[in-house]
Each structure stands twice: as structure tokens, then as C-alpha cells.
Amino acid sequence: MVEFWIGIAGGILVGSTGAGLGLLVTPLLILSGYSPPIAVGTTLAASVVSKLGGTALHQRLGNLPGRKVWALLAGGAGGVAIAYCVLKAAVLPRRFDLEASTSLRRTLAVLLIVASAVLLTLERRRGKQVSKNREQHGLLLPIGLGVGTLQALTSAGSGSLLVPLLASTTDWSVGQMAAVSNLFGCMVGAMSVGMYFHLGNFSTPLFGKVLLGLLPGILAGGLLSRWIPRLWFVRGIAAVTTLVGLRLFFD
């Protein structure tokens, strides 16, 4: 039953702020007793479901920024390959090495705390564009590589880390960055789920339980966003995420 409520919480987060599920669902699953790879794989699968709709919508709106996005996606695919090599080296037959598991927990904890700060920064800059003289599209491949690796290993990154990086290196509009974030998260997430399934670290029943809570949670989050001041809600999410990150790090 707790998995359903974790899905509800993650759905409300996505529906109201657009932030990634990795900020909340993965650490809560870990704190509920699931191993980090099972938690990450489950969250990535749920993220793919939540981002499919967003990707389709932005495609219909024409928000995808053309061919330049392919360099970013190629980097993301390379990041999943790196994550696969890292996890394959750490995984014993159908068991996740304890030391690697602890390292993953702490990596996720640090990433959550950083993501909280990024979320607040992004909120302050919401609706702004960078000037064209700051374009650095040559960095899209390494950005995709780095964020793709982090997303595949921790489930966080496609929204909380990728969007601020795109804002500082491209002249893409808010709509274009949102479209790319959805597409990137969907592609990297799908590849990563296949990777975790192949390594024997994916629980279909757990995914089903989280998904049951995720869908109504997204709807509830969308409705709540109309009544709760966005800035204060984002601040609350950032505070909760920081606390969960600290709990993961010292648990």
C-alpha cells in the first residue's frame, strides 16, 4: 500500500511542478526497504509513462528544436551505455553488491540536494531565455552523456539537471527546453529500464503499484497547481527533497 502513496506523491510533484520523479519516488522507495537498483528502475519506468504524453504534446505544438537535439540524444544513449558498464561490473548474479548499493544511495542523496538548489534557481529564472551570444551547442553531446549517465544510475536528471544546463548553453525557448527534456527523459528512461530488466533488477509488481498512484497523482497535482502559489509549493518540494537526500546519505 505504501507504494501506491509513493506513486501519488510523485504524481503530485510532476503534475504541479513538472519536476522529475527521481526527486521523490526513488529515495522514498529506498527508504521503504527496496534496493537502489530496483527503486531506480521502477522510477525510470514510471517516468517514461509520465513523459510520453508530454513528448507527444510538445511534438504537436512544434516545440522540438530541430536536428540539434540529436547530439543531445546521442549523448544520452552513450550515458546509458556507461551506466550499463558500471552496473554490470557491480552486479553479482541477481544481487547488487552492498558497497555499490551504498555508493549509489549516497550519489543519489547528493544529487537530490543539488537538484533542490537547481529547482529553486530554475523557478527564479522561469520564463526567461538566454541570449544568442551564449549558444554553445557543441556542448550538447557531453551534456547528454553526463546527464544520461546520472539519470540511468539514479533516475534523476532529465528535468532537474538537464533544463538548467540547456538554459545556459542554448537559445531555446522554455517550450523547446521542456520538449527536449521530455523527449530525452523518455528515451533515456526506456533504454535504462531495458538495462535494469536485463540485469535482473526490475520489479514489475512494484512498477504496477507505483503506476496506480502515479496517474491520479498527476491529475491531482495539476488541479492543486491552480490553487497553491507555485513559488511556495516549489520551495516546499525543495525542502522535502533536501531532507530526503540527507536521510538517504546518513541512513
CA distances from 243 to 51, 148, 218 (A): 26, 25, 23
Question: Which class for 1: exposed (0-12), middle (13-18), buried (19 or more C-beta within 10 A)?
Answer: exposed
More confident residue, 91 or 113: 113
Amino acid 129: pLDDT: 47
Rounded Cα gap, residues 240 and 234, in angstroms: 10
Of 28-42, 130-144, 151-165, 214-228, the range with the highest mean pLDDT is 28-42
Range with the poorest average pLDDT among 3-7, 162-166, 200-204: 162-166
The residue type of 59 is: Q
Whether residue 191 has pLDDT greater than 90:
yes
User: Using 50, 70 and 90 to split pLDDT, how confident is the model at 159?
Assistant: low
In the numeric block, which cell numbers belong to residue 247?
Answer: 536521510
The CA-to-CA distance between both ends of the chain, in Å, stands at: 23
Max Cα separation, the chain? 52
For residues 59-86, give the mean pLDDT.
87
Whether residue 250 has pLDDT greater than 90:
no
Q: Which residue is it, cell 544546463?
A: 165
Count of residues making up the chain:
251
The torsion angles phi and psi of 97, rounded to 5 degrees, stand at -55, 135
Amino acid 96: pLDDT: 46
Rounded Cα gap, residues 6 and 151, in angstroms: 19
Whether residue 100 has pLDDT greater than 60:
no
What is the bridge-based pairing of β-strands 91-92 and 95-96? Answer: antiparallel
